Structure 1
Amino acid sequence: MSETGEGAVSLRLLSIFAAMMGGATTQEAAERLKMSQPAVSNGIRQLETALGVTLFERLHRRLQPTEEAFLLFEEIRPIFPILRGFEARARAMRSGLSGRLRVLSTPPLGHSVGAQALGALLEARPEVNVSYDVRRLEHVLEAVQNGAVDLGLGLGLESHPALNVEVVARVDMVCLLPAASPLAGQDHIRAGDLFGDGLIGLEAESRLGQAVRLAFERDGAHYAPRVEVRYCSTAAVLAATVPAATIVDPFSAALRAPTLVERPFAPACSVPVALFFRRGVPRSRLVQAFVTYVRAALKDFTAEAAAMPAEPTMNGPAG
């Protein structure tokens, strides 16, 4: 808004007026408002011209408020706490300390490292509000693309024609099987070991299901699961209740039932851990902070997995 001309009153002019009404000299007001002394003096003249009212009179080399100034200041006094609150909230949003974050993840990450990252974010930034959910990968990608969420998390995808994809880690699929299984005594499980063992497989149309199928083909093994499911978490639940072996991501395996053991799977079936962002949209500091926490959670998960001893089996320690 223009600061000259009849009726043109800006927040900048009102801020100068408020500083002067606090008993400050023009020099003190200039220092408080981080502007020059002439700018303060000019601002007062502009405000008086816009209002058609004399607000200050010079007395003993100071500008003294007139009676009209006191009356008008009482009218606008409630504005300034609101304005200060608005400015503080804007600063917090710029620094990532406040605002709203929208995250959508596939279940393996959403129930593990994504949840851990969210907890760290909320603890460090109590003013942040979050929308957080888990869906199928195609729903995550769609939500990121149409701007319904700020970022997505998923497994098995390295690129996308309409999104920015940031691969933050690579993990190997693992085998879960009942502790009572004869295979539980092995230090690793090959695809060929699972033939005819009532395998619980992942849906062939899913990316992780395709990766497992290719691993079987590389090992020259026939991939013929007796049960097919969409999610690794479902496969892990069924492996404990059917019971049978299954190949899942390590995040889902970490939440396994105590009746199951985890073994490395061969041939290696590596899948990317990726973050998805809408193209052309700059990342806010809040989004970048969450990404930092995700990376830290992944690092912790990897370190814990490497340090975890093999589960005991019916025949003694594995391997």
Structure 2
Amino acid sequence: MRLRQIEAFRATMNTGTITGAANMMAVTQPSVSRLIADLEINLGFRLFERKGSRLQPTEEALRFYQEVERTFAGIDQLEAVADRIRQEQMGLLSVFSTPALATSLMPKVLKNFHQLYPETKVRLEVRMPMEIFSQLQSSAGDVGVSNHAAELPGVIQEPLYDAAFVCVLPKDHRLAKKDVINHGDLDGETLIGLSAEGPLNWNKIFKNFREKGIENYNWISTQHAEAGYALVSEGLAIGVLEPFSAKRWEGIGVVVRPLRPKICFSFSICFSANKAKSSVAQDFAKLVRQQLADEPPLYQD
């Protein structure tokens, strides 16, 4: 079984015709037909039945195609890694960030980075935390900034910041008049739930409330803190959300207040354990730390 035979089979499945497969592969129709025939001999079963001008895949072909797609997905991933390596050689820094940090922390960090490395191109990829970890495990990026997770193989997580989450209120809510929101103030209120993602979850928020006998109504939840701020601005609920976005949202339909006692979550700078840290990536990490030191999020005291 040769790769070219598999490519012919995959192209035929994707286009539905020998002609389409030949065009996709830039070869002649007889060449595709011969590759398919040779593959059927190697496999020991038929792959297609002709139905008019189109080919109908057999049941065996459909099952075989599922495995072929899994294999080519791995090849596509290898090609993506190779492309990133080529781009790195041309002076590219690949940065992964969660949505909230990408819109709050990253712009100023990248501005400072560009002043330090004006010739280096940056690709900022906005992903959810588990996607960031997956990309770093496959050595597909240089540095990531994300929520901290339990120890993960192939990922180095360096502590960055322990962030005290803030209480985000609709501007006309009765609690907006208070300077500090205590846990007990939220008894009976409608809160936005934060959806779990893999090993990352926000159960600590609501666990703390339940342990104190504080009951909340949760009819809507989201994985994205930015979406949470937007929901609060429409008066749909109260949010206990990450503080990085607070400065941008404060005054846009929301009031941000410190929540006491604090409920903190950890954030990390992440690297792939399977590749050496470049000096550029390390300098980028230093700029992230410096930016948080210069302009910490609201209500962290």
- TM bin (shorter chain): 0.5 to 0.7
**Count of aligned positions:** 212
Q: How does 1:255-274 map to 2 (within 5 A)?
A: 255-256=248-249, 258=251, 259-274=253-268
Is 1:282–2:276 an aligned residue pair?
yes
Deviation at 1:195, TM superposition (A): 3.1
Deviation at 1:211, TM superposition (A): 3.0
Deviation at 1:284, TM superposition (A): 0.9
Which residue, 221, 243, 246 being the options, matches 2:239? 246
* C-alpha distance in 1 between matches for 2:262 and 2:115: 37
Q: Give every structure 1 segment of 4 or more consecutive aligned residues whose post-TM-superposition deviation is greater than 4 Å.
A: none
Deviation at 1:294, TM superposition (A): 0.3
Is 1:128–2:115 an aligned residue pair?
no
Which amino acid counterpart does residue 205 of structure 2 have in structure 1? V
Which amino acid counterpart does residue 225 of structure 1 have in structure 2? N
* C-alpha distance in 1 between matches for 2:141 and 2:242: 25
Unaligned runs of 5+ in 1: 1-92, 309-319
> Is this contact kept in 1: 2:136–2:272, CA < 8 A?
yes
* C-alpha distance in 2 between matches for 1:165 and 1:125: 24
Aligned to 2:131: 139
Is 1:188–2:180 an aligned residue pair?
yes
Aligned to 1:213: 206
Which amino acid counterpart does residue 287 of structure 2 have in structure 1? Y
Deviations 1:80-134 (A, max 9, x none): xxxxxxxxxxxxx99xxx8210011111222122222111111221110111121
- Give the structure-2-normalised TM-score: 0.64
* C-alpha distance in 1 between matches for 2:133 and 2:190: 33
The structure with the larger Rg is: 1
Is 1:231–2:231 an aligned residue pair?
no
Identity of aligned residues (%): 27
* C-alpha distance in 2 between matches for 1:112 and 1:163: 24
Which residue, 134, 148, 172 being the options, matches 2:164? 172
Which amino acid counterpart does residue 265 of structure 1 have in structure 2? L
Is 1:297–2:291 an aligned residue pair?
yes
Aligned to 1:162: 154
Deviations 1:163-206 (A, max 9, x none): 11101111100000022211112222233322332222211457
Which amino acid counterpart does residue 271 of structure 1 have in structure 2? F
- Give the structure-1-normalised TM-score: 0.61
Aligned to 1:5: none
> Is this contact kept in 1: 2:154–2:274, CA < 8 A?
no
Deviation at 1:208, TM superposition (A): 5.0
